Every structure is written in structure tokens, then in C-alpha cells.
Amino acid sequence: MKELRYDAVVIGGGAAGMAAALELDGAGLSCAIVEREENLGGILVQCIHNGFGLIEFNEELSGPEFAERFEDRVRGTGIKPYVGTTVMDIDVSGGDKLLYCYSAEYGILRMSCRAIVLAMGCRERNRGNIRIPGSRPAGVYTAGLAQRLVNIEGYIPGKDIVIVGSGDIGLIMARRMSWVGCKVHAVVEILPYPSGLTRNIVQCLHDFSIPLYLSHLTTNIVGKDRVEGVEITPLENGALMTEKAFTIACDTVLLSVGLVPENELSKQVGVEMNPMTNGPSVDSRLMTNVSGVFACGNVLHVHDLVDYVVEEARRAGAFAALWLKGERAKLEVRVKAGSNVRYVAPGRVDAEADNKIYLRTLIVKNDATLEVRVNNRVIKSVKKTHIQPSEMITVSLGAKDLAAAAGSPDPVVEIAIS
């Protein structure tokens, strides 16, 4: 077994992992990235569509271009990337943290370090998670798997497609499948509004005249060996209108029904989870309850823009570097999701520092108002022209905003939307 030592080890070499590692390296600390796949970049490598990097590079890039620009930066530093290497186990019981990794090239590696940054991304929900009844024929794929097959391996999974769920990956795949010569017959969404970005509804569905069935449930997948169709039932006021059910013939079903942060490893080391995000609960410095273990990117909460992933990951990397140098958070104040807010991340702010909070709303609304309150007193109010659950909202809170909290004995910050 090969033994290695670094100040910090980053698990996952996607956008989040690379951005966090660059901060650690920039702070003069030794750092390794461990990545399961054969190359850095993570999910970006299969996202060949454009729409990445508008904030980061002020340009619209495709996923692979965005990833490669970060790879180029990583290559110009002292960061050691271990690709094709999977972290199997972590031991935090001793003074140093130990990571047990496996790779075809290096065999078993044991890395010891003082800080760990979790950047494992997320995985897709599948048919089992949403319980669509019916037989188990071939031809049912998650949209992300189909994306990988089509965009990287050049394998087209079917000809007549129905997409279940209107998340961005499903919408992007509706256009991709149309562009590779398939017929996309429908996108079926259980909610009364689409869960993907509006721009994707326009350029991935409208452009191809693909019908979007909102408030419709996929009630059956039919077919013996291969998918032959899906049965779709409208929902009215929450009730299934079984007499109005209809079937669309197809040979392939793509599921785009959400993403879940990939936290098997985190749970194994005793990291506490936030049930609203399915990611770790973290403090204002993105550190989990396990001292010296930080989290960022999709493993912390699912992001829709890589630019925000990178922004958050830089903060995590910088906080890990400060922690390694002995600095600790000063005045931690709890942040609570108020009315119409599904979650806030992180769940704490430092009342004496600049904070960035990400949140998701529960509602679709034009001309909404976001209010930040400390002990029920409004300290900040922001107008939003349009909000919806699929578009993440960010709020900056500085020491000035939080002065009221700093002076109070048991302060709570609450963020609400109306």
C-alpha cells in the first residue's frame, strides 16, 4: 500500500473539486484531488450544450470547455490529481484523517491529511425512487445516462422517446435526441409548472414543437421486452383523472426526475445531513460537524449553474485553508428558512464576516420580495422580478447587515419570500 501525505485532499474532480483545490494551492498548502473517472471535469464533460461560464468567464461555453479551462489551471499548479481513483473509506478517528483509495494504476493508496473537501457531486433519481408501476422492459434510462451514451459514446438509445420529468437534463436531452434524429413525443411533468429553466423550455421544447404535459402523472410503462408506450393520466386538483388517461407509443423512456447529492462517504464518517437538501449541514464556513471536513458543489446541495458551484467551492477551499492555518469562525448565527423558502445553504452565517447564502423557493411568482429578518426585524429586503423553485436565489449578507444579530444573545436570521 502506497502512503501519501497532503495538507488537504479534495474528493471529486468536477468543477467544485477543482475550484476548491485551486484555492488551497493558492494559499500555499499541499493538496490532492481524487477523481473516480479517468479525467477531471465531472458531469461537465457530458454536458456538451452551451450555457456555462457566463459569470465566471463572461462567455457562453459548453461544459467540456468550462471543465478544460479549470483543468488547465490545475495543471499549472502544485495540485496532484489522482484520476481513475476512488475514495473507498475515510477514517477520522485519529489525529490525521486517513483516506483509503483504490485505483487500477496505483493500487491501494492511503492518504493522510488534516482537511478534507467533499466534492462528490450528485446522482440521478431513478425509476425505483419515483415508483412508476408497470413491467420492466428494456428502454428506460435516466436522462443523464442517456446524455453520456449519446454525447460521449455515440450510442443512440432509441428512436421514439418520451421524457418523464421536466428537469433541465430532460429538457436538454429532448433537444439532443431531436438533433440526433429521434422523435421526442412528449415531456410529462407531475407539477403544474416546469422544473427546468425557462430558457430550456423555449430552446429545447418550443423549437421542436414538443408537447409539455404539466400536471400529468406517468401511471404505467408498458411493453414486454422493450418499452412499447407510456400511460399518462391528468391530475386535477390533486386527483388522478383515470377516465382521461391516454397512452403514447414509444420505444424509449428517459427519466429526468431529480438529482440527489452523493453522500454515502460523508455519512460513513458521521457527517450530519440536512434533510431539506440531502447534503451535509454546514456552518458559515462550509464545514460539516466533523471538524476539518468541508463540502461544496452538488454534494452540498444541487445547483443549476456551474458558476455558482465554482463560487461556493472557492469559498470552501479558502475556508479550509484558513482552518488549516488555525483560524476559526467567530460569531455563528443560525439561518432559518422562512415562509415560501424550501431551504437555505449554508444554515449558518458569521455575523462578523461577508456571507453568501443560496436558497430555493417553494413558489412560482413575479414581483416577489425577499426579506431577511434578524429576531423578526427586517434587515434587508430585495425585489425579485421572477422566482421559481428551479432557479436558485443568492443573497449576500455582510457584517453591517448582521450588526443587529451580533448584539443579540440568541439571534436567528430568517429568510422569507412573499
Ligand X SMILES: Cc1cc2nc3c(=O)[nH]c(=O)nc-3n(C[C@H](O)[C@H](O)[C@H](O)COP(=O)(O)OP(=O)(O)OC[C@H]3O[C@@H](n4cnc5c(N)ncnc54)[C@H](O)[C@@H]3O)c2cc1C
Q: Is 306 in the site for ligand X (CB under 6 A)?
A: yes
Instruction: Name the nearest CA neighbour of 313 among 4, 20, 18.
Output: 20
Q: Is 51 in the site for ligand X (CB under 6 A)?
A: yes
Q: Is 293 in the site for ligand X (CB under 6 A)?
A: no
Nine-digit cell string for 384 = 425579485
> What is the CB-side half-sphere exposure of residue 191 using CA atoms within 13 A?
15
Nine-digit cell string for 319 = 475556508
Q: Which of residues 179-238 bind another protein (CB under 8 A)?
A: 179, 197-199, 201-203, 207
User: What span, in angstroms and rounded, lies between the C-alpha atoms of 255 and 79?
Assistant: 37
Pairing of strands 140-142, 122-124: unpaired
The minimum distance between CB 62 and another protein, in angstroms, equals 4
Q: Which of residues 89-118 bind ligand X (CB under 6 A)?
A: none
User: What span, in angstroms and rounded, lies between the C-alpha atoms of 387 and 365?
Assistant: 5
Nearer to ligand X, 262 or 311 (CB): 262
Tell which one of 64, 81, 121, 280 touches ligand X (CB under 6 A): 121
Where does this chain touch another protein (CB under 8 A) — which range of 44-52, 83-91, 309-317, 347-355?
44-52
Choose from another protein, ligand X, none: what does 68 bind? Cβ within 5-8 Å by kind: another protein
User: What span, in angstroms and rounded, lies between the C-alpha atoms of 54 and 248?
Assistant: 38
Tell which one of 4, 48, 69, 86 touches ligand X (CB under 6 A): 86
**Residue 198 backbone phi and psi in degrees, to 5:** -60, -40
Choose from another protein, ligand X, none: what does 151 bind? Cβ within 5-8 Å by kind: another protein
Q: What angle do CA 226, 228, 234 make, to 5 degrees?
A: 135
Binding mask 155-174 for ligand X (x = CB under 6 A): -------------xx--x--
Binding mask 5-24 for another protein (x = CB under 8 A): --------------------
Hey, which bits of 95-200 come out as E strands? 97-103, 107-113, 115-118, 122-124, 140-142, 160-164, 183-188
Binding site for another protein (CB under 8 A): 45, 48-51, 54, 60-62, 64-65, 68, 150-154, 179, 197-199, 201-203, 207, 304-305, 366, 385-386, 391
